[in-house]
Structure formats: structure tokens, C-alpha cells
């Protein structure tokens, strides 16, 4: 094997190792972020909301969620549940309308 071929093999191996390490780091960071995000049951169950007459907290915002699928519509995971962008927007609009009607 020539010196040049040997150098190419070393570079190729380093590049593959770097990609695998980077992918592993991203996956580890994502899993850590999900496990420390609080969990719990959010939004409150319908029974809890119906008993009190209003939701306990506002529905999740896109910024509070993790993007899992881009496309039309994009999908997000918020507090363990999967929502589309349209569902999140409708939840927020319904919550705002409900807050306005209770004033």
C-alpha cells in the first residue's frame, strides 16, 4: 500500500468515527432533554378541566415542544403527546376564546 492510500484510509476512518460520534451525541442530548422536560400529564385531562370549568393551564406552545417531523403539517411532541401545528394553534385559539368569555 502506498503512503497516499494509507493516508486516505486514515482520513476516511476518522471521518466515519466523527460522524458516528456526532450522531451519538445528538441522540444522547435529545434523550436527556426529553427526560428532564418535566413529564407529567399536560394538558390537564378533560375531567379535571370540566370539573373546574376552565383549564388549569394554557395549552402548550410550539416553543415548548420538540419537533419530530417536518412537513405539512409539522408534528411536535409536547408533554408526551403528539400534536400537529394546526392542532396546537386550535388549542391556543380555543383557550384564548375561553379566557375572553370568562372575563
User: Over the stretch 59-101, which tens digit does the pLDDT of each residue have?
Assistant: 888 888 899 988 888 899 988 899 998 999 999 999 888 888 8
Would you kindly state where each structural domain of the chain is located, as residue ranges?
1-36, 40-103
DSSP state of 73: S
CA–CA separation, 24 vs 81, rounded Å?
25
pTM to 2 decimals? Answer: 0.47
Per-residue pLDDT for 53 more than 70? Answer: no
Q: Is residue 70 within 8 Å of residue 98, measured between CB atoms? A: no
Question: pLDDT value at position 76?
Answer: 92
Beta-strand pair 66-69/81-84: unpaired
What lies within 8 Å, CB to CB, of 73 at 6+ separation is 84, 85, 86
Amino acid at each position: 500500500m502506498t503512503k497516499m492510500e494509507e493516508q486516505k484510509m486514515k482520513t476516511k476512518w476518522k471521518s466515519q468515527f466523527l460522524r458516528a460520534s456526532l450522531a451519538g451525541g445528538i441522540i444522547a442530548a435529545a434523550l436527556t432533554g426529553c427526560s428532564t422536560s418535566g413529564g407529567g400529564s399536560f394538558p390537564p385531562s378533560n375531567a379535571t378541566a370540566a370539573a373546574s370549568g376552565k383549564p388549569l393551564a394554557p395549552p402548550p406552545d410550539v416553543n415548548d415542544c420538540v419537533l419530530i417531523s417536518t412537513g405539512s403539517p409539522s408534528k411536535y411532541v409536547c408533554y408526551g403527546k403528539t400534536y400537529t401545528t394546526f392542532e396546537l394553534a386550535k388549542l391556543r385559539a380555543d383557550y384564548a376564546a375561553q379566557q375572553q368569555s370568562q372575563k
